[in-house]
């Protein structure tokens, strides 16, 4: 039996009672020979790490999502949550806080480390977790300008970069590409992983349950993730013909004990198969690279639950998020990016 020792000591994302999967009590999704074949192919493709991944020509920038959605606790999140209440807090101040505070948990758990080990150049962006898309994209733009200047001080031309974004991070990136001049860098590709390009009905329902003053003061970005808000967003931001757009979606069917069961149940009747927050339909943008089955929203950033982790440790075939991001980098390399 082959043991993957790198996975043994990784932290759990939720308490054990919320992390175990007890089997699904939901009706099976409709399956066809075509999607069964695709699922089997993806299971084989992303169940283990290969030795033959190619390295992209240009640096990768990892762009995180909305911390409220992604359930990660960090010092930047706590600090910026309080800053979000004050209108006078400038984008630069928030960017500086996000860039210097120390996180309790790494958002891109093990993913950045493996990309670096394979020879990729990797930048990890940090933006205010609860701010609006406009604010987050502005700070992302400032982060890139500042970091590119430090990393590549002798560059004579704008440094080309590949953006890889999870969840709401994909909306930040699209807004940045559409709204801001790229002074010392040039975005050549954007790969989004379970980004709610067309919104999430979970946001619509949650807004109905939380008092308006709390949303206004602490979670302004939540309003921008509704179905209607994303229709408006997509009318006002345009894709750049010089940028390659790729996307992935994910879905699973949770048990009633699963932490994503409530939001999955909100989204499924309105949008269909989803990862507990974002539907496959909403995740599609640009060239769609495929749907990952039996994968939830946090599995996609390597915050897999204990039962899945155990399967990987004992060598059983299951989704390995690190393999996905190595393959995304490989895809960029094969396209000359």
Q: Are strands 244-251 and 185-193 parallel, antiparallel or unpaired?
A: parallel
Please name which of 69, 75, 65, 139 lies closest in space to residue 107, comparing C-alpha atoms. Answer: 65
Q: Quick one: which of 285, 273, 266 has its CA closest to 204?
A: 266
Amino acid 214: pLDDT: 85
Q: Is the pTM of this model over 0.95?
A: no
The SS3 call for residue 124 is strand
Name residues of the chain where pLDDT drops below 70.
1-44, 67-105, 304-317
In whole angstroms, how far apart are CA 229 and each of 201, 250, 273, 275, 304? 11, 22, 21, 20, 30
Domain boundaries, the chain: 5-22+38-334
Residue 292 DSSP label: E
DSSP class of 30: P
Tokens representing residue 189 in the block: 């590709």
Q: Residue 230's pLDDT is what? A: 97
Q: What is the pLDDT of residue 56?
A: 98
Output phi, psi for 2, to 5 deg.
-90, 130
Q: In a 3-state reduction of DSSP, which class is residue 172?
A: helix
Task: Output the CATH code of domain 5-22+38-334.
Answer: 3.40.50.1820
- pLDDT score recorded for residue 105: 60
């Amino acid at each position: 039996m082959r043991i993957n020792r790198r996975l043994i000591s990784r932290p759990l994302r939720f308490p054990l009672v919320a992390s175990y999967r007890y089997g699904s009590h939901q009706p099976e999704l409709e399956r066809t020979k075509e999607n069964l074949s695709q699922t089997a192919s993806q299971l084989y493709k992303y169940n283990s790490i290969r030795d033959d991944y190619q390295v992209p020509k240009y640096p990768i920038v990892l762009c995180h999502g909305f911390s409220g959605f992604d359930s990660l606790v960090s010092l930047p999140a706590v600090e910026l949550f309080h800053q979000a209440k004050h209108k006078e807090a400038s984008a630069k101040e928030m960017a500086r806080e996000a860039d210097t505070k120390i996180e309790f948990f790494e958002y891109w758990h093990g993913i950045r480390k493996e990309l670096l080990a394979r020879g990729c150049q990797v930048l990890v962006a940090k933006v205010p977790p609860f701010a609006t898309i406009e604010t987050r994209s502005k700070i992302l733009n400032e982060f890139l300008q500042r970091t590119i200047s430090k990393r590549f001080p002798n560059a004579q031309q704008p440094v080309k970069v590949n953006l890889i974004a999870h969840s709401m991070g994909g909306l930040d990136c699209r807004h940045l590409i559409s709204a801001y001049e790229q002074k010392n860098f040039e975005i050549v590709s954007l790969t989004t992983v379970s980004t709610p390009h067309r919104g999430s009905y979970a946001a619509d329902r949650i807004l109905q349950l939380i008092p308006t003053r709390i949303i206004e003061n602490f979670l302004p970005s939540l309003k921008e993730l509704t179905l209607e808000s994303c229709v408006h967003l997509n009318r006002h931001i345009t894709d750049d013909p010089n940028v390659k757009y790729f996307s992935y979606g994910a879905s699973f069917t949770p048990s009633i004990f699963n932490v994503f069961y409530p939001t999955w149940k909100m989204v499924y009747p309105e949008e269909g198969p989803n990862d507990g927050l974002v539907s496959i339909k909403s995740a599609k943008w640009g060239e769609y690279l495929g749907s990952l089955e039996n994968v939830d929203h946090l599995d996609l950033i390597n915050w897999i639950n204990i039962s899945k982790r155990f399967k990987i440790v004992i060598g059983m075939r299951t989704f390995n998020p690190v393999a996905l991001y190595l393959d995304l980098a490989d895809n960029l390399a094969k396209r000359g990016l």
